[in-house]
């Protein structure tokens, strides 16, 4: 109410403030605006303090304790971290599995994405149709995707049925330590359409003159791809690489759904135990909240390290047009 009455006066007085500078009135208005600012951002601020900063600090403390949430926490210093890094073989297995998954699935997805985008960027009839077919899988919720793969890879599932036609006895894919990780990689490759579409739109934006010049110079299509197309799409590749790595290090749902039937999450003999599935098991099956929190921080460090490495190397291979101009 008072607002509506005050505001015109405030604006007029502010105009006068511009000329004659009665400081007090201007600052009262500024204080009011500042108050509104804090009021407007209060949802985020409360969320930040209550759901992020508070829990983060708590997480640091919990990671230094042994705690099952029923008995009082016992301070153990860095014991949880040293346990993960020196005593627990499952942690190292989970770490190496996560590395394997991230470092195979993310580059593979990008190679497929660049390859398909390059094909779709040609004068293809039915380009829209092909693009739809390739993009459609990315709209399927991960849980539904995992269900289809779980069904296809079941011991008597479609894939083994198909192999049977050729006289091949297929393995029990999801129960077999050799096959579970490749299965997860194939599942992630099914979502390569997301990167494809982003890369395709980046390719559409490349100035045609560059290709015309290359053509006049007699460059082959292969050479044109590596000298014109590829440098121009490196920013998008870089973006997808970073987001892909961050996502891949946090892989959880697929692993859980595909391996939960084998008795314990993480597959036979922890063959597909990942950082987050291990964290989940330690926290919510065993109530080792201290140890699980330590794993969470180690995961954060891994993600941070890879992000930094990616940004470090970026200047050697990511091309930004603005740098040239």
Comparing CB distances to other proteins, the nearer of 145 and 270 is 145
- Find, among 222, 197, 221, the residue nearest to 112 by Cα: 197
| 171 touches other proteins by CB under 8 A | no
Q: Is 77 helix (H, G, I), strand (E, B) or coil?
A: coil
H helices present in the chain, as ranges: 2-20, 23-40, 42-47, 54-63, 79-82, 89-120, 127-135, 142-152, 158-165, 180-189, 193-204, 208-216, 221-224, 230-249, 253-259, 275-280, 289-317, 321-324
| 13 touches other proteins by CB under 8 A | no
Stretch that binds other proteins, among 82-90, 98-106, 166-174, 250-258 (CB under 8 A): 250-258
Binder to other proteins among 133, 226, 286, 311 (CB under 8 A)? 133
CA 259 to chain centre: 22
Q: Alpha-carbon Rg of the chain, whole angstroms?
A: 27
- CB 20 → other proteins: shortest distance, Å? 19
Separation between Cα atoms, residue 181 and residue 144, nearest integer Å: 19
Stretch that binds other proteins, among 18-26, 85-93, 266-274, 297-305 (CB under 8 A): 297-305
Binder to other proteins among 81, 99, 100, 239 (CB under 8 A)? 239
Which of the residues 29 through 58 are near other proteins (CB under 8 A)? Answer: 30, 33-34, 36-38, 40-41, 43-48, 50-52, 54-56, 58
CA contacts within 13 A on the Cβ side of 143? 0
Which of the residues 208 through 237 are near other proteins (CB under 8 A)? Answer: 208, 211-212, 214-216, 218, 221, 224-225, 228-229, 235-236
Comparing CB distances to other proteins, the nearer of 114 and 296 is 296
Stretch that binds other proteins, among 18-26, 78-86, 102-110, 146-154 (CB under 8 A): 146-154
| Cα separations in angstroms, 178 against 20, 93, 169, 255 | 80, 14, 15, 15
Comparing CB distances to other proteins, the nearer of 5 and 21 is 5
Which of the residues 83 through 112 are near other proteins (CB under 8 A)? Answer: none
| 238 touches other proteins by CB under 8 A | yes
């Amino acid at each position: 109410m008072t607002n509506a009455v005050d505001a015109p006066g405030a604006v007029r007085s502010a105009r006068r403030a511009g000329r004659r500078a009665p400081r007090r009135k201007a600052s009262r208005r500024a204080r009011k605006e500042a108050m509104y600012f804090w009021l407007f951002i209060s949802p985020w601020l409360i969320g930040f303090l209550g759901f992020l900063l508070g829990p983060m600090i708590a997480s640091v403390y919990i990671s230094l304790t042994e705690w099952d949430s029923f008995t009082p926490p016992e301070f153990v210093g860095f014991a949880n971290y040293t346990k993960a890094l020196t005593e627990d073989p499952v942690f190292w297995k989970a770490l190496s599995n996560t590395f394997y998954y991230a470092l195979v699935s993310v580059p593979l997805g990008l190679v497929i994405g660049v390859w398909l985008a390059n094909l779709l960027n040609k004068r293809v009839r039915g380009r829209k149709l092909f693009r739809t077919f390739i993009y459609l899988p990315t709209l399927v919720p991960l849980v539904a995707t995992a269900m289809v793969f779980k069904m296809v890879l079941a011991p008597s599932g479609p894939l083994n049925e198909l192999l049977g036609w050729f006289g091949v006895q297929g393995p029990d894919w999801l129960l077999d330590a050799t096959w579970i990780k490749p299965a997860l990689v194939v599942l992630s490759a099914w979502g390569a359409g997301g990167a494809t579409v982003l890369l395709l739109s980046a390719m559409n934006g490349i100035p045609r003159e560059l290709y015309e010049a290359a053509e006049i110079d007699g460059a082959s299509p292969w050479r044109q791809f590596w000298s014109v197309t590829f440098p121009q799409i490196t920013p998008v590749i870089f973006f997808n690489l970073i987001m892909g790595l961050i996502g891949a290090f946090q892989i959880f749902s697929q692993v859980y759904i595909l391996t939960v039937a084998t008795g314990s999450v993480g597959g036979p003999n922890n063959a597909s135990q990942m950082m987050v599935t291990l964290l989940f098991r330690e926290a919510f099956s065993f109530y080792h909240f201290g140890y699980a929190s330590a794993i969470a921080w180690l995961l954060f460090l891994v993600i941070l390290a890879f992000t930094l490495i990616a940004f470090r190397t970026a200047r050697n291979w990511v091309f930004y047009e603005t740098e040239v101009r």
